[in-house]
RNA sequence: GGCCCCAUCGUCUAGCGGUUAGGACGUCGGGUUUUCAUCCCGAAAAUCGAGGGUUCGAGUCCCUCUGGGGUCACCA
């Protein structure tokens, strides 16, 4: 049995994007599922659009998501080079071979393939039979005047050289397939199997675009999406788990993957579900893991206790900062902050008294002291804690406030209460008894 | 415009001739709760794009139309 060999062939013209990740995911799953080899080829045939560092961005992006490949520019195997720019002479020789056979011709410094006019048909592994009339294929350029091969040419030559058995790519390549098929015929080589999955769309139902849409993988990393969540989400687009599961990791995706379950319609890349999944993955991390992730992106030190308080309150790591900020920065507390909160001045004064009497500063003692205070004074629980919240954090939506007090420490809590008292005492003097 | 691909709730999807068309996200309502969130419960939401066939029976098969997308480069 022939070993399955697949490839992904991103071009180094920018950054690694969602589309690259998606192609990789499907090829990776198909290949790992079937015990084959995944090849990464960096299609650098466009000298004009070549971007410095783009290749590293591709490695970084795909590695971040948990993918690995068996051969590539960074991992030479026996089928290189893995960059077209390093085998220009081979393309030239192949083109000359076609010229000799009368299947190509020179044209203003370039070399064009001579269309045979034959119909081209293939059985797509995802879509079934697809047929193009021979008249659709023109005499297309295979070697540009700068000596570089065009995409269609390098793809065929390289896929032959690399012994690719399955080409799994986006549907935007369907119309390129007949040209490539014609090339395989000209070389007398049996073409690989083709599988064209749907392309991801944006909210306007248009193909995801580098220009218009936020597709740079780094953007997702910076926003605090976990790679597992992104991979899981991508796995939900254009594919469905046979058991209807929505949450699964890469290993399970590989295990269950089947081209037959790949849908034909283009899914919209709507991040709402991604956010939900990301929250799910964040909630499933341990304190240690979460702290590590948080500190990688934080300017101050996040403790395990702090992380534990926000775990269920964020869906992206980037949301942590606004929730944790008050721990390190004293909030600006003004009187307008307390609008609508009854008796806040009294809350502060009494709390100050009770809290300063706590000998052993821990959650249990804070809880019981404040519960007792609320009961004795007949405070509305919600109002009382809202006052504490505002005084200590300057915000109305915060982590649990008593737990936060423990982390803040007694001195800091008392100090913030005293500050607030100065502001509030003038406002509601009548309420001070 | 030519060619090609596609079409089930707002979104992701299940469905592979007989289902009250199911699930998830989101939305809305309720419960738990010191805020927010989590968690739990519930609801609305697809006349399966339209019209013809085939069949005892069609979301599922066929045709037409409509709509959307892709592609027609010395970009990939």
Q: Is the CB of A389 under 7 A from strand B?
A: yes
Q: Is the CB of A180 under 7 A from strand B?
A: no
Q: Is the CB of A404 under 7 A from strand B?
A: no
For A18-70, the pLDDT digits (tens) are 999 999 999 999 999 999 999 999 999 998 888 889 999 999 999 999 999 99
Q: Which residues of chain A have pLDDT under 70?
A: 1, 426-433
Nearest nucleotide to A200 by CA–C1' distance?
Answer: B69
pLDDT of residue A372: 94
pLDDT of residue A426: 60
A207 is catalytic: no
φ/ψ of A241, rounded to 5, equals -70, 135
Nearest nucleotide to A237 by CA–C1' distance?
Answer: B12
pLDDT of residue A335: 76
| Gap from A385 CA to B29 C1', Å | 27
Nearest nucleotide to A148 by CA–C1' distance?
Answer: B74
Sign for the CA dihedral angle at A11, A13, A15, A19 comes to negative
pLDDT of residue A35: 95
> Of the residues A75, A144, A210, A395, which is catalytic?
A210
**Encoded tokens for A354:** 């009770």
DSSP state, A2?
P
pTM of the model: 0.94
Helix (H, G, I), strand (E, B) or coil at A375: helix
Strand B bases with any atom < 7 A from protein Cβ: 2-8, 10-15, 22-26, 34-39, 68-76
- Domains of chain A plus CATH, in order, are 5-197 (3.40.50.620), 287-325 (no CATH), 335-431 (1.10.10.350)
pLDDT of residue A80: 80
Q: Complex ipTM, two decimals?
A: 0.96
Q: Is the CB of A394 under 7 A from strand B?
A: no
- Residue numbers in A 236-255, CB below 7 Å of strand B: 236-240, 244, 246
Look up the protein residue whose alpha carbon has the minimum distance to the C1' of B37. A313
| Gap from A166 CA to B32 C1', Å | 53
CA atoms within 13 A on the CB side of A62: 26
| Gap from A137 CA to B72 C1', Å | 9
pLDDT of residue A431: 45
DSSP result, A56-84: HHHHHHHHHTT---SBBTTB--TT--SSG
Helix (H, G, I), strand (E, B) or coil at A367: helix
pLDDT of residue A171: 97
| Gap from A84 CA to B69 C1', Å | 31
pLDDT of residue A433: 40
Q: Is the CB of A119 under 7 A from strand B?
A: no
Helix (H, G, I), strand (E, B) or coil at A7: strand
pLDDT of residue A430: 46
pLDDT of residue A343: 80
pLDDT of residue A2: 80
pLDDT of residue A314: 97
pLDDT of residue A344: 79
φ/ψ of A145, rounded to 5, equals -65, -15
pLDDT of residue A413: 96
DSSP state, A145?
T
- Residue numbers in A 77-106, CB below 7 Å of strand B: none
Q: Is the CB of A345 under 7 A from strand B?
A: no
Nearest nucleotide to A175 by CA–C1' distance?
Answer: B71
pLDDT of residue A427: 52
Say how many Å lie between the first and final Cα of chain A, rounded. 90
- Angle at CA of residue A42, ends A36 and A44, nearest 5°: 150
φ/ψ of A392, rounded to 5, equals -85, -30
């Amino acid at each position: 049995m022939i070993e399955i060999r697949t490839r992904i062939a991103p071009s180094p013209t920018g950054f690694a994007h969602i589309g690259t990740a998606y192609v990789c995911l499907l090829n990776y799953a198909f290949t790992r599922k079937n015990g084959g080899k995944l090849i990464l080829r960096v299609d650098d045939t466009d000298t004009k659009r070549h971007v410095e560092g783009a290749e590293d961005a591709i490695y970084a992006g795909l590695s971040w998501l948990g993918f690995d490949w068996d051969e590539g520019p960074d991992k030479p195997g026996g089928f290189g080079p893995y960059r077209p720019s390093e085998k220009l002479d081979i393309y030239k020789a192949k083109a000359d071979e076609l010229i000799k056979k009368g299947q190509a011709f020179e044209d203003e410094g370039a070399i064009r393939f001579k269309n045979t006019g034959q119909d081209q048909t293939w059985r797509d592994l995802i879509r079934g039979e697809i047929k193009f009339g021979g008249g659709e294929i023109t005499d297309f350029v295979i070697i540009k005047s700068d000596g570089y091969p065009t995409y269609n040419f390098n793809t065929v030559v390289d896929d032959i050289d690399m012994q690719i058995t399955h080409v799994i790519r986006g549907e935007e390549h369907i119309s390129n397939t007949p040209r490539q098929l014609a090339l395989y015929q000209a070389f007398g080589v049996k073409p690989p199997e083709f599988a064209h999955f749907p392309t991801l769309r944006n909210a306007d139902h248009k193909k995801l675009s580098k220009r218009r849409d936020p597709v740079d993988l780094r953007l997702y990393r910076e926003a605090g999406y976990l790679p597992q969540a992104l991979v899981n989400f991508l796995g939900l687009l254009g594919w469905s788990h046979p058991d209807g599961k929505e949450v699964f990791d890469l290993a399970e995706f590989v295990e269950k993957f089947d081209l037959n379950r790949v849908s034909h319609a283009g899914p919209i890349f709507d991040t709402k579900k991604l956010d939900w999944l990301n929250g799910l993955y964040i909630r499933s991390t341990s304190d240690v893991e979460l702290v590590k992730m948080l500190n990688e992106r934080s300017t101050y030190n996040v403790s395990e206790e702090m992380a534990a308080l926000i775990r269920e309150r964020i869906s992206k790591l980037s949301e942590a900062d606004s929730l944790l900020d008050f721990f390190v920065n004293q909030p600006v507390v003004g009187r307008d902050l307390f609008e609508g909160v009854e008796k806040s001045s009294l809350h502060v004064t009494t709390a100050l008294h009770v809290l300063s009497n706590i000998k052993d500063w821990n959650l249990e003692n804070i809880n019981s002291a404040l519960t007792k205070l609320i009961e004795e004074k007949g405070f509305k629980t919600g109002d009382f804690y809202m006052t504490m919240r505002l005084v200590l954090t300057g915000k109305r939506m915060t982590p649990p406030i008593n737990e936060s007090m423990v982390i803040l420490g007694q001195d800091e809590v008392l100090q913030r209460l005293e500050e607030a008292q100065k502001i509030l005492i003038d406002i509601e003097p009548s309420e001070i008894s």
